[in-house]
Amino acid sequence: MALLPATLANELIANLDNFVTEAEATVAWADSFDAYFQSAMAGVVPVTPLGTANAKNAMATALAGMSLDGAGSTKLVAGITAYWTQLNVDAFAVFLACTAITPPPGLGGLTGLLNIDFTANTVGIIAKVPALTTIANTIHTAQLGGIAVFPIPPGGIGPQVIV
């Protein structure tokens, strides 16, 4: 498999609702992102399903405060960044024999792009499904270009783009 924006959109649509507490929302976001990332591949090496558990928890923790006015995009990027940071810490568990994971370069501009999406969704009073699909597409595009580092040949496959 590979990372697909439709997978993230479907997860967000299924999991995001009107929550009573922020904590419920942070867990739903982290669960959705983690389910999306479960289809990632580093070359021919798939994600080890339980290898991302710490990353999911790191994301949920970093999302705290996301319900404050104007904090949504900043907190989402902080959560996604925390996820990728923890992936690197747990690299060997995430992709078997991986020694390091480098986050995608697109994370740097993601806050601004999400702000554009949030404004368009709010001003246009966009329904849940198209609004979350737009957000998922933006987040997905920023995920492109992450690298999983493996031992170089002949003992390994060398650096691989995460798709």
Q: pLDDT in tens for each of the 163 residues of the chain?
A: 899 999 999 999 999 988 889 999 999 999 999 999 999 999 999 999 999 999 999 999 999 999 998 899 999 999 999 999 999 999 999 999 999 999 999 999 999 999 999 999 888 888 999 999 999 999 999 999 999 999 998 888 999 999 9
Give CA–CA dist 32/11, Å, rounded. 5
Cis peptide before 154 (omega within 30 of 0): yes
Among residues 121, 124, 119, 143, which one has the least CA distance to residue 132?
121
Are 110 and 77 spatial neighbours (Cβ–Cβ below 8 Å)?
Answer: yes
Q: What is the pLDDT of residue 126?
A: 86
